[in-house]
Amino acid sequence: MNTTISIIIPAHNEQNYLEKTLESVTNQTYSEYEIIVVLNGCSDDSEKIVRKFRNVKLLSLSQCSKEV
């Protein structure tokens, strides 16, 4: 029995890295996973890049939340 895992990718203006990261995850041999990308107030093309990938769940925060 395979275990399903969640891969959560937090991102703030990561357009230069997101595509390569998502390609790397989707090219793995293990297939029992879900990908969730959390965009934290991005002002670049990060959301556009994530939307190119099917089966990637997207949570987009309108404002950058900072750790307290």
Tell me the mean pLDDT per 10 residues along the chain, length 68.
86 96 95 94 95 94 67
Return the structure tokens found at 44. Answer: 């670049």
Q: What is the pLDDT of residue 68?
A: 43
Beta strand extents in 1-66 (DSSP E only): 5-11, 33-40, 56-61
Q: Tell me the sheet residues that pair with 30.
A: none
**C-alpha closest to that of 44 among 22, 24, 60:** 60
Q: Apex CA 1: angle with CA 6 and CA 35, to 5°?
A: 15
Q: CB of 41 within 8 A of CB of 62?
A: yes
Global pTM value = 0.85
